[in-house]
Amino acid sequence: MSTKPAILVARAVFPEVLQRLAQHFDVESNQDDVLYTAEELAQRLQGKVGVFTTGSERIGAALLAQCPDLRICANMAVGYNNFDLPAMTAAGIVATNTPDVLTETTADFGFALLMATARRMAESEHFLRAGLWTRWSYDMFAGAEVHGSTLGIIGMGRIGQGIARRGALGFGMKVIYSNRKPLDAATEAACQARFVSKTELLQTADHVVLVLPYSAEAHHTIGAAELAMMKPTATLVNIARGGIVDDAALAAALRNRTIAAAGIDVFEGEPSVHPDLLTVPNVVLTPHIASATIPTRLAMADLAADNLIGFLIHGKALTPLNAPAH
């Protein structure tokens, strides 16, 4: 019988990460990548002191009440809206995430999605694949200017700052941002960004990029009223979290040309996508892949593993989200 602490790795992950964890723990893995129901997850967690989670595993009071041995949940994500942090803290469970390691990769993707949206790449590719391209015309899929335009960023954390730098330094964009509070002067200067109200940002920006964390207060930060404030030539990009945007209102705004186009990587109720978004041509849709490069995903998995090893073996998590009393 193993004397190592027992942990669950709830989704498929890099084999080398499992091998590293197995040096320290009795690991139950899920390389078949089965999506566990709440009941199945609770059952798998019996006798486990730690769990390696992704955004698909919801950790709340009801689950924790069934898992008396659990001490840490290590999320392989920077976001953690799958965690009920107050319930975890009350239950004495440490929660961790994976900040920093995905900042530049996600900022790259955010800018790629902005470019694809502004320049109508997906729409024009569908046109070409359908055999509809028969001749050149002066206005065929003429999109929005990116270079020298105004970039509005809502949520100016690490990733938002990365997008700001790309826009200002690489594309000569005028950068404005809205945040819970202004950045310090040195960070603003490095990003060449100016703090404005959300209303001013929506009314002024040619391209609006959402990078704010999800919370109850942030739910539907962008709805019908906000979309109506935007320029009809503007684009909207969401690489934040599903629920930040009212997807039904967005589909209607795209259909009615309230705004010109949108690029969306995250969705309400994902992996399901609002059916109306699938029927409008002026939207680029991607399946939550902003951090999806092999080096970055491996770094995320390694940091989640490091949190489990750090806490359960050495007594200290590397990137804790809470500090429950033990």
Active site residues: 241, 270, 288
Cα Rg of the chain, angstroms: 22
**Residue 77: phi, psi to the nearest 5?**
-170, 155
In angstroms, the CA 55 to CA 80 distance is 7
In angstroms, the CA 115 to CA 207 distance is 10
Q: Are 321 and 309 in contact (CB under 8 A)?
A: no
AA identity, residue 113 = L
Q: Which residues contact 315 (CB under 8 A, 6 or more apart)?
A: none
In angstroms, the CA 179 to CA 197 distance is 8
* Helix locations, the chain, DSSP H: 15-22, 38-44, 61-65, 85-90, 103-118, 121-129, 158-165, 171, 185-191, 198-204, 224-229, 247-255, 294-314
In angstroms, the CA 232 to CA 221 distance is 19
Which helix (H) or strand (E) segment is 178 a member of? strand 174-178
